[in-house]
Amino acid sequence: MRITNRVRDELGFPLTVRGLFEHPTIEELGRLIDGTGAED
């Protein structure tokens, strides 16, 4: 939970725990946060 809160606080992106597990690498998370990946 801390990582999702940190991402929300620092980047303004509402990362969910599900999103974290569905995008487990830094590259995949970067794409998700950047908008080039999709979260269900």
Q: What is the pTM of this model?
A: 0.69
* Average pLDDT value over all residues in the chain: 89
Q: Each residue of 1-38: b (16+ CB within 10 Å) or e?
A: eeebeebeeeeebebeeebbeebeeeeebeebbeeeee
- Spans of all domains in the chain: 2-34
Asked if pLDDT for residue 39 goes beyond 80, the answer is no
pLDDT for the residue 36: 77
